[in-house]
Chain A
Amino acid sequence: MVLISPTLVFTLLMLAIPLMMVLALSFWTQNYLTLDRSFSLANYKTAWTEPMYQYLMLRSLKISIFVTALTVLLAYPVAYFISFHVTPKRKAMWIFLITIPFWTSYLMRIFLWKVILGYNGVVNGSLMGLGLIEQPLSFILYNQNAVVLTLAHSWVPFAILPIFVALERVDRSLIEAAEDLGDNRLRRFLRVTLPLSMPGVIAATIIVFIPTIGDYVTPRLVGGPNGLMISNMIELQFKKANNAPLGAALAISAMALVTCVSLVFVWMNRKFMRGPN
C-alpha cells in the first residue's frame, strides 16, 4: 500500500481533481472576462439544444463509430494471421513491426495522409498513371472519408494487440475438436474462434472508440470544413473563443455520450454471446 501511494497520489492530483474541476467549471458561466461561479445548467442547455453542437456531436459519434468498425475489421485478419499463421518465434517481431508506427511522428503521419490523398497526391497520381481515372478524385480529401481513413490508420495497431492476445488464448484443441466433429473452416471460425476471441474484439472496440472522439488534429488537417468534430469545438472554446465553461460542458457531454454508447455495446455483446447457448 505504501509502495503504490506515490503513483496513486500523483494520479489523484493530476487526473481525479482536474476532472472534478472540469465538472465544476461546466456548471459555471463565463461573462466575457469574469467567471460566474453560481450553479447553472446553461452550458449543458447550449451544448444539447443548439443545432450546431448537436450536429457536431452526432457527426463525431458517427465518425468514431465508422472508425472503430473499420479499425476492428482491418485489425482482426492481421491479428488472426499473426496468431495462427506465424511461427511462435516470429510472433514478437510481428507485433513489434505493427506497433512501431503507433509510437512515431503523430503529426507528420497525419499530414502525410493529406499528401497521399490530395488532388495531386499519391493515390490520384498512381490511378491516373495507370489510366484508371481521367480526372483526379476530389472526394478522398477534406471530408469525413479522409478523417475516418486517417484515424483508422492511427488506431489500428492499438486494436490488433487485444485481439491478438485473445486469439492466443483460444485453446487450439477446441478448434481441432470442431474439425473432428465435421465443421468446415468457416463454421469452425464462426462457432469457435470468433466467439472465444470476442473479449479481445470488445477491448479493441473500446480502446479505439473512446479516444477517437477526442482527436482534433486529424479532422483539422484532413477533414476540411465538413469533417470537423466536437473536439475541434472544445479546443476552440478553450482557446480562441475563451468560453472554457462551455468547452467543459461539451467535453463532459462528449465523454458521457461515448461512455453510454460503449456500455450499450458491451451489454448488447454480452446478451448476444449468451443468446445461442
Chain B
Amino acid sequence: MRGKGYLFKWYVVLFLVFLYAPAVLLPVFAFNDSSIVSFPLKGFTTKWFEVLQSTEALHVAVRNSLIIAVTTAIFSTAFGVLAARASTRFAFPARRSIMGFIMLPMVLPEIIIGVSLLVVIVQLGFELSLFTIILGHILICTPFCIAILSSAFMNLDRSLEEASFDLGQTRWNTFWLVIFPLVMPGIVASLLIAFTISLDEFIIAFFLAGTEPTLPVYIWGQLRFPQKLPSLMALGTLLLVLSISLLVLADYFRRRGLKKTGIENSGGFL
C-alpha cells in the first residue's frame, strides 16, 4: 500500500520539476556572467539588468504594454461583470448558447482570432495600433473574467438583495451598497488576471501590432540576436516575478471573496 503512494508522489514531484524547469532556469541565466545562454555557469552578475535600464526601445514597449494591459483589464472586467451577473441571476432566452458563444475565445486558437481581427481592420481600412491590440485582448480576457466573476456572483445570497429592496432601496443603490462590496474581491481578482494575460499575450499582439510593439512583440524581435539573450533572460525574470506576484495577489482576493460569502474554497481560478 505504502509503496504505491510513494510512486505517485515521485511522479508528481517529477512532474513539478518538468512544469517549473523553464521558470527556474530563467533567473539562473539572468544572473549568469556569460554572454552565452548555456551551461556551465560562469559566475554571478547583475549587469544584464543594467543593460535593460539603458535600452530605450524596451521602455517604449513597456509603456505600450502597460497601456494595453490596464485598458484591457478595465474593459474585460466590466464586460465580465455584466455577463456574470446576467447569467447567474437572470433567466433569458438562449442563455446557454449566448454564454457558450461569449466563452468561445477561450478554446479558439489565438491565431484565428488574430487573423480574423486583422482581416476586418485591413478591409475597413483602419490602421493597426495599440487600440486594435486592446480590442483583441479584451476579447480573449473576457471569458477568463467571466469564469472568475461567475463564481463570485453565484455565491451571493439572494435574500440580502431582497432585504435591501424591502428596506426601500432602488435597484441601483442595492447594486452599489449590497452586491458590489460583496463581489469586490472577485472584481479585483478579475482585473489582475486580465492584466496578467494581456501583459504576456503574444500571438494576437503580433498580428495586430502596427509600428508600436508590445513587450512580448519586442522580446520576439530580440530573440533572433544571440548577444541580446542574456538581457532578455533578465527581462524575463522581472516579468516572471511580476506575473507571479500579480497571480498570488489575485488568488488572495479570490479567496477573500469566497470567505466573504461563506463558501468553501474548492479550487483555482477556473
Contacts and interface: CB of A to CB of B under 8 A. Distances in A.
A255 B112 contact: yes
B51 interface: no
B239 A108 contact: yes
A207 interface: yes
Tell me the interface secondary structure of chain B in the complex: helix
Contacts of A212: 109
Interface string B241-266: 00110010001000100000000011
A130 to B, nearest CB: 14
B49 interface: no
A19 B22 contact: no
Contacts of A16: 101
Contacts of A19: 112, 116
Contacts of B193: 103
Given A77-B12, A100-B247, A109-B23, A21 B123 contact: yes
B116 A15 contact: yes
B160 interface: no
B240 interface: yes
B82 A106 contact: no
Contacts of A17: 120
B11 interface: yes
B107 A21 contact: no
B85 interface: yes
Nearest to B93: A1
B58 interface: no
Given A11-B101, A85-B8, A105 B123 contact: no
A264 interface: no
Contacts, number: 232
Tell me the interface secondary structure of chain A in the complex: helix
Given A21-B116, A22-B119, A115-B29, A106 B216 contact: yes
Contacts of B92: 1, 4
A255 B78 CA distance: 30
Interface stretch (A140-148, A171-179, A230-238): A230-238
Contacts of A161: 267-268, 270
Interface in A96-132: 96-101, 103-109, 111-113, 115-116, 118, 120-122, 125
B119 A107 contact: no
A99 B80 CA distance: 21
Interface residues of B, number: 86
Contact of A105 (B9, B78, B239): B239
B18 interface: yes
A1 B243 CA distance: 35
Given A4-B87, A14-B117, A116-B25, A103 B197 contact: yes
A78 interface: yes
A166 interface: no
Given A81-B8, A122-B25, A217-B202, A107 B223 contact: yes
B111 A234 contact: yes
Contacts of A15: 101, 104-105, 113, 116, 139
B90 interface: yes
A97 B112 CA distance: 30
A57 interface: no
A98 B19 contact: yes
B240 A104 contact: yes
A115 B19 CA distance: 15
B86 A4 contact: yes
Contacts of B251: 96
Interface stretch (A48-56, A190-198, A244-252, A268-276): A244-252
12 contacts: A1-B92, A7-B83, A11-B102, A14-B136, A15-B104, A15-B116, A22-B115, A105-B240, A108-B239, A122-B21, A168-B267, A214-B111
Interface of B: 4-5, 8-9, 11-12, 15-16, 18-23, 25-26, 29, 37-40, 78-80, 82-83, 85-87, 90, 92-93, 98, 101-102, 104-105, 107-113, 115-120, 122-123, 135-136, 138-139, 142, 146, 193, 196-197, 200-203, 207, 216, 219-220, 223, 232-233, 236, 239-240, 243-244, 247, 251, 255, 265-270
